[in-house]
């Protein structure tokens, strides 16, 4: 989820346009100094884990990319209306989790949070709402952009309101494939790189941070057809080789849908006076210790459905203008000699650049049948893909 700002705009304005004269106007913004608790997550009643994230709002004046501070050392418990309790484990950095709980779907559930400063928060009891299965996850090509979409339906017509999350994973390659490695122990030397230490192919994973919603409330049947989930730009590195996306589908109550829709508008639609103005968010989490304290969050319960697909670059149509942008535009290979024959200084560049790991060796060079006189090499960011990803595929990964 995008970071949530606690700045509250109190005054909207009307721009007066007079003939031949336009005067710019900056609306006043009132900033509250209070940091609010943010509660994110779903009480999963099925086989999947329940993961709750606790953090705090931050000022809108902070630089883009500033991280919301986590709420640490809290006690988080799921409670049922049948007086059962299920404690969550502190997983660190504001995350609290429980493995498969397999809760009774006929009961109602709420979250109780006790922070390290002894404040107590509770969500309202909510009924479990299970998502119907995802029929398929597909992709379409729209204006040289790939749209990832979901097809789903509920034969009982009881879902109507949906939210999606997704995890993306894709293969990247470094600019140069290194077949050599610097070994510092027991003594500095350059040797062949073991296959299990390859740094040319890596996998990057990231989770969705936007709020993706869909509704069939205005339709006769509870059927979703090519509901957009996310997009992959035509110059994205994600489809350089092989890409996978796991989509999770949640069913919402109308109240939960309205909350997430307001949150989406507040966090994604602001930008000009013509955009929707911020809405005061009213969630279902409350501070028991101080009822006047505002809390950001809406806890739902139920089980999600999910489906994964893979897309290979070969599946892209020939007419698609696909030119992946990588961070390697300025990469170049250097030559590191033990004694550079091109100069009279005979500086040992292997010791200077490769033994210090300033550069990574790629391939040896020299007369055939003789020890190498040096190595081609480049900077770590051009050779070592583990600076951006992991050089082992995730457990779910399936190759072509």
Place of tokens 């969500």: 123
Residue 277 confidence (pLDDT)? 52
Dist. CA 256–CA 11, nearest whole Å: 27
Distance of CA 249 to the CA centre of its chain: 16
Query: What is residue 62's predicted lDDT score, i.e. its pLDDT?
Result: 74
Q: Which of 31-40, 155-164, 302-311, 377-386 has the lowest mean pLDDT?
A: 31-40
pLDDT of residue 278: 60
Work out the pLDDT band at 63, boundaries 50, 70, 90: confident
CA–CA distances in Å: residue 76 to residues 39, 251, 289, 369: 11, 24, 15, 67
- Mean pLDDT across the stretch 123-141? 96
In this model, does residue 19 exceed pLDDT 90? no
Q: What is the pLDDT of residue 275?
A: 52
- In the prediction, which pLDDT does 65 show? 72
Q: Is pLDDT of 94 > 90? A: yes
Quick one: which H or E segment has residue 177?
none
Q: Which of 20, 391, 51 is nearest to 199 (CA)?
A: 391
Residues above pLDDT 90, as percent of the chain: 76
Q: How far apart are CA 183 and CA 160, in angstroms?
A: 60
| Closest by CA position to 372, among listed 199, 183, 190, 195 | 190
**Confidence at residue 149, expressed as pLDDT on a 0 to 100 scale:** 98
- Greater confidence (215 vs 22) lies with 215
pLDDT score of 292: 95
Q: In whole angstroms, what is the distance from residue 311 CA to residue 170 CA?
A: 9
Rounded to whole angstroms, how far apart are CA atoms 297 and 293? 13
Name residue, tokens 């999770």. 248
CA distances from 257 to 161, 213, 251, 281 (A): 6, 8, 9, 12
Minimal CA–CA distance to 307: which of 399, 396, 210?
396
273 secondary structure, DSSP code: T
Model confidence at 345: pLDDT above 90: no
pLDDT of 25 > 80? The answer is: no
Interval 38-65 mean pLDDT: 90
Of residues 288, 269, 308, 236, the one with CA closest to residue 112: 288
pLDDT at residue 1, as a whole number: 45
| Residue at token pair 């300025």 | 330
CA distance to 85, 316, 376, per residue, from 379 (Å): 54, 32, 11
In this prediction, residue 24 carries a pLDDT of 46
Q: What pLDDT is recorded for position 144?
A: 78
* 21 contacts: CB under 8 Å, gap ≥ 6: none
Q: Chain-wide mean pLDDT for the chain?
A: 88
> DSSP letter at 133?
P
> Is residue 189 over pLDDT 50?
yes
Q: What CA–CA distances, in Å, run from 296 to 121, 122, 283?
A: 11, 12, 6
Between the alpha carbon of residue 390 and those of residues 177, 296, 385, the distances in Å are 15, 34, 8
Using pLDDT thresholds of 50, 70 and 90, give the confidence band for residue 341.
confident
pLDDT reported for residue 317: 75
* Whole-number pLDDT of residue 384: 98
Number of Cβ within 10 Å of residue 208's Cβ equals 17
Banded model confidence at residue 5, pLDDT cuts 50, 70, 90: very low
Give the C-alpha separation, 260 to 266, whole Å: 10
pLDDT tens-digit readout, 351-392: 999 999 999 999 999 999 999 999 999 999 999 999 999 999
- Bin 257: left if φ > 0, else alpha if -120 < ψ < 50, else beta: alpha
First to last CA, the chain: 32
DSSP reduced 3-state for 345: coil
The β-bridge partners of 312 are 242
Q: How many whole angstroms separate alpha carbon 240 and alpha carbon 174?
A: 12
pLDDT per residue over 286-330, tens digit each?
999 999 999 999 999 999 999 999 999 888 877 656 788 999 999
Residue-level pLDDT at 301: 98
**Neighbouring C-beta atoms of residue 43, cutoff 10 Å:** 26
Mean pLDDT of 164-180: 98
Q: Which residue has the higher pLDDT, 393 or 34?
A: 393
Res 12: pLDDT: 33
Average confidence (pLDDT) over 98-122: 96
Which of 296, 215, 285, 297 lies closest to 249 in space, CA to CA? 215
Token readout for 283 is 């969630």
With residue 296 as reference, give the H or E element that holds it: strand 296-297
Q: Are residues 271 and 5 in contact, defined by beta-carbon separation less than 8 angstroms?
A: no
């Amino acid at each position: 989820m995008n970071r949530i700002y606690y700045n509250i705009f109190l005054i909207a304005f009307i721009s007066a346009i007079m003939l031949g004269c336009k005067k710019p106007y900056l609306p006043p913004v009132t900033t509250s100094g209070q940091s609010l608790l943010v509660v994110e997550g779903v009480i999963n009643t099925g086989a999947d884990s329940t993961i709750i994230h606790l953090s705090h709002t931050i000022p809108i004046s902070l630089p883009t990319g500033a991280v919301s501070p986590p709420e640490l050392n809290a006690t988080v418990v799921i409670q049922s209306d049948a007086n059962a309790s299920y404690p969550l484990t502190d997983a660190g950095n504001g995350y609290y989790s429980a493995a498969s709980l397999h809760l009774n779907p006929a009961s109602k559930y709420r979250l109780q949070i006790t922070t390290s400063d002894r404040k107590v928060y509770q969500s309202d009891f909510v009924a479990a709402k299970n998502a119907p299965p995802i029929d398929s996850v597909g992709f379409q090509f729209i204006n040289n952009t790939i749209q990832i979409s979901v097809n789903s339906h509920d034969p009982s017509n009881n879902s109507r309101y949906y939210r999606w999350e997704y995890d993306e994973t894709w293969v990247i390659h470094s600019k140069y494939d290194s077949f050599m490695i610097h070994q510092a122990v027991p003594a500095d030397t350059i040797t062949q790189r073991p296959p299990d230490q390859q740094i040319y192919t890596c996998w990057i994973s990231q989770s969705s941070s936007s709020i993706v919603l869909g509704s069939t409330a205005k339709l006769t049947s509870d059927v979703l057809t090519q509901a957009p989930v996310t997009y992959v730009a035509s110059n994205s590195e994600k489809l350089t080789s092989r890409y996978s996306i796991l989509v999770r589908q949640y069913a919402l109550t109308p109240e939960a849908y309205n909350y997430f829709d307001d949150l989406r508008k507040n966090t994604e639609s602001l930008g000009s006076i013509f955009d929707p103005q911020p809405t005061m968010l009213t969630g279902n989490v409350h501070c028991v210790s101080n009822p006047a304290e505002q809390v950001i969050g809406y806890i739902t319960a139920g089980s999600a459905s999910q489906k994964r697909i893979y897309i290979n670059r070969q599946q892209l149509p020939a007419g698609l203008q696909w030119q992946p942008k990588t961070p390697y535009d300025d990469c170049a290979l250097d030559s590191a000699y033990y004694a550079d024959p091109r100069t009279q200084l005979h500086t040992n560049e292997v010791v200077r650049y490769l033994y210090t790991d300033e550069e990574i060796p790629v391939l040896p060079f020299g007369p055939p049948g003789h020890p190498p006189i040096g190595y081609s090499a480049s900077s770590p960011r051009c050779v070592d893909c583990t600076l951006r990803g992991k050089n082992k595929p995730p457990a779910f990964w399936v190759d072509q």
